[in-house]
């Protein structure tokens, strides 16, 4: 599965997602875009899932019309150590997620 880590997610989280093609927004040359531009560009580049810690993003965008799914990581903080604790639940969510859906991953 092609995953895109939003700029607000620690880039080193990609090392915990080795079963997937996981890229950072910076590496995919999608850094600095607003949310709407990011979603459009990510979908155009063939990403299937955007992983973010921005809990407001799903409420600000119309996601149902697109082919991109969103995973919102809801850790205690956005530090890598907190996000790594969510990886088992994230892996489960990725196995079930469908285009246009939003899944919140918590501990």
The residues spanned by each domain of the chain are 2-105
pTM: 0.92
Percent of the chain clearing pLDDT 70 (strictly above): 93
Statement: 2-105 belongs to CATH 1.10.3470: no
- As given in the structure block, the two tokens for residue 42 are 């990510």
Q: Token pair 């090392």 is at which residue?
A: 15
Maximum CA pair distance of the chain? Answer: 34
**74 CA to centre of own chain:** 12
Percent of the chain clearing pLDDT 90 (strictly above): 80
| Average pLDDT of the segment spanning 9-22 | 96
Q: Token pair 């501990």 is at which residue?
A: 107
């Amino acid at each position: 599965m092609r995953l895109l880590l939003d700029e607000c997610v620690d880039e080193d989280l990609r090392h915990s997602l080795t079963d997937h093609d996981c890229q950072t927004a910076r590496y995919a040359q999608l850094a600095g875009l607003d949310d709407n531009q990011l979603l459009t560009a990510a979908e155009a580049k063939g990403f299937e899932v955007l992983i973010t810690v921005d809990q407001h993003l799903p409420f600000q965008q119309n996601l149902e019309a697109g082919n991109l799914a969103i995973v919102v990581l809801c850790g205690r903080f956005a530090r890598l150590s907190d996000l790594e604790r969510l990886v088992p639940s994230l892996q489960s969510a990725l196995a079930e997620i469908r285009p246009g859906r939003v899944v919140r991953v918590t501990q």
